[in-house]
Amino acid sequence: MPSLHPDPGFEYYYKACKKGDPEAKTVTVDQSPVAALADASEITGLPRDNFEIHEISKEELEKLRV
């Protein structure tokens, strides 16, 4: 069965974390930093300025999915 979310071939992604979180726990990951902020805000109900964005590689993304 084909994937509903095929790999678009991007090499870098963006994860949103709460500002000041020493562990930088991931709230959400997206291919766009703006989308990651919007998703994190929607998930948590907090304003977008409560989050920071970190660029991650495709390999780091795979580690987060495990």
Sheet holding 12-18, edge to edge: 26-30, 12-18, 51-57
**Mean pLDDT score of the chain:** 88
Q: What φ, ψ does residue 44 adopt, rounded to 5°?
A: -95, -20
Q: What φ, ψ does residue 34 adopt, rounded to 5°?
A: -65, -40
| Cα–Cα distance for residue pair 21/27, rounded to 1 Å | 11
Output the furthest CA–CA distance in the chain (Å, rounded): 42
- pLDDT tens digits for range 12-37: 899 999 999 999 899 999 999 999 99
* pTM score of the predicted model: 0.77
Assigned token pair, 22:
């020493």
Q: Would you kindly state where each structural domain of the chain is located, as residue ranges?
A: 12-65
